[in-house]
Amino acid sequence: MEADFVIIGAGSAGSAMAYRLSESGASVIVIEHGGTDIGPFIQMPAALSYPMNMSHYDWGYQSEPEPNLGNRRLATPRGKVIGGSSSINGMVYVRGHARDFDTWAEMGADGWSYAAVLPYYKRMETWHDGGHGGDPAWRGTDGPLHVTRGPRKNPLFQAFVDAGKQAGYETTGDYNGEKQEGFGPMEQTVYKGRRWSTANAYLRPALKRENCTLIRGLVGKIEIEGGRATGVRLTDGKVIHAKREVVLSAGSINSPKILLQSGIGPADELTALGIEVKVDRAGVGKNLQDHLEIYMQIASKLPITLYKHWNIFSKAWIGAQWLFTKTGLGASNQFESAAFVRSKAGVEYPDIQYHFLPIAVRYDGQAAAEGHGFQTHIGPMRSKSRGEVTLRSKDPHEAPRIFFNYMSNEQDWEEFRTCVRLTREIFAQDAFAPYAKHEIQPGADLQTDEEIDAFIREHAESAYHPCGTCRMGRADDPMAVVDPLNRVIGVDGLRLADSSIFPQITNGNLNAPSIMVGEKASDHILGKDPLPAANVKPWIHPDWKTAQR
């Protein structure tokens, strides 16, 4: 079993690399522990709460008890299926703010500024604006990944945007274009009514080529001989040899886990577990970041929310309609309006994100007791808290220890309180007057800092955006794990490309930047010149220094 390139993980970045590396004529073997994504739970967009709660498709990871969140263990779903987390996520498509990538470059990820990554975003997309306005010049027209917008038929989607405008915020026709800041339509990786995961967009077309093969298996470790990665050993003893390079793309939890199992990481941690140290890299598993969010729910005066479909008959009808026609409510993730705003004056670009949903419901599918309602998922984008992923033992079958250390920075609490108060102001605008009855949660009686903090402690949940655990930086940076060409520092013939390399978390959901990393890394791996940098100027609020909106 050998190929030019052996890719570990058929997820968001791994599938993109399988497509691009095999496109070059090189032979590629992709190793994936999870199985097939065929079936309505994954392919039907509106069923998104199912796969992330199914052990068949999800690694089932949990955080350690989080001391600042009442010692709760938080769910940390990760896709265990072809397409990886793009097969179980909420299908929300956000590139991130231009400044995110400029910050990466400033942090040592040379060649990853916005001007450098925008051409890769354009290369990977086929963008369908759906007649809702937008920025064609900033978007891609012929990439494998189809990006669409929901129909926004429910009047609540427009009410949310109108309320933002009434509260004095910007609107934007395309937060993935020139102007992220403001209220406007949300984008989704849905195409012709189906979830457009990287399995559908990249992996299936790649596997049609004779030079690309998929193998099922759990990785025990990367084989390293004389300072060079030579192949991958599976837990059943099989070794798959890489003639050119091993490419690790197992995501922000499993990539550091596999490096540590292979003897790449902090020497003291490895020695304590009886793992032979191949490369002493202090940063492996550190710098873990995520987005936390709460749901703010409002009871609705009118029976126009999706709650009217929250019964077995309606769900069966929606399912049948989707199954036979790929249309109807089943064909959208229902996240169809969004906003990015700044929490205060002096913040240069948005640090708060809104996902608006015309039903009051939890990710695990529990509807609010109040019946008809709507909600927004809200949380700060750039938490200062940092956690880590470490091994419990050297047994590859054992889940790693995931400690986010959420809300360990005082600024996180300030930003979260601001989120609650700004959101109440938005829901109090005239645009919501016909619809808004009362606040279900947190509940209008929670007003003081202490009361809001207690609500956050009890109810904040992960937005499922872990990243940063194998940070990209300059080769002389002791905490960097990967250099700007995606080479694991200290080992030859080993690259790493997925959300674990993000130096800092991006603004918004992480699937789009994870795929972009796979696209850009492919050119580095093949030794190609990067795509020519874009010469564009993203919109920054002219009064950001003195005004919050």
Task: Report the C-alpha gap between 15 and 13 in whole angstroms.
Answer: 6
199, 193, 186, 187: which is closest to 45 by C-alpha?
193
Residue written as token pair 């994504």: 37
- Who's near 397: CB < 8 A, 6+ residues apart? 218, 235
Instruction: Tell me whether residue 89 is annotated as binding.
Output: yes
Taking phi over 0 as left and psi of -120 to 50 as alpha, with beta for the rest, 219 belongs to beta
DSSP at 201: I
Q: Which amino acid is at 528?
A: K
In sequence order, the β-bridge partners of residue 225 are: 228
Residue written as token pair 């089932």: 60
Task: Report the C-alpha gap between 467 and 228 in whole angstroms.
Answer: 26
Distance of CA 289 to the CA centre of its chain: 12
Task: Report the C-alpha gap between 117 and 113 in whole angstroms.
Answer: 6
Instruction: Tell me whether residue 91 is annotated as binding.
Output: yes
- Who's near 455: CB < 8 A, 6+ residues apart? 294, 420, 441, 442, 446
Residue 497 Cα distances to 8, 147, 252, 352, angstroms: 10, 22, 10, 27
* Secondary structure of 120-182 as H, E, C letters: HHHHHEEECCCCCCCCHHHCCECCCEEEEECCCCCHHHHHHHHHHHHCCCCECCCCCCCCCCE
Is 465 tagged catalytic? Answer: yes
DSSP at 79: B
Residue written as token pair 């300030």: 414
Instruction: Tell me whether residue 92 is annotated as binding.
Output: yes
Angle (CA) 291 295 300, round 5°: 155
- Check 33, 372, 377, 465 and give the catalytic one: 465
Q: Give me 420's structure tokens.
A: 């609650």
Angle (CA) 350 72 11, round 5°: 60
- Who's near 296: CB < 8 A, 6+ residues apart? 375, 376, 378, 420, 423, 424, 427, 439, 441, 442
536, 169, 138, 537: which is closest to 352 by C-alpha?
169
The phi, psi pair for 522, rounded to 5°, reads -55, -40
Q: Give me 14's structure tokens.
A: 């791994």
Instruction: Tell me whether residue 81 is annotated as binding.
Output: yes
The phi, psi pair for 296, rounded to 5°, reads -100, 120
Residue 221 DSSP SS3? strand
Q: Which residues are annotated binding-site positions for FAD? A: 81, 89-92, 219
The binding site comprises: 81, 89-92, 219
Annotated active-site positions, please?
Answer: 465
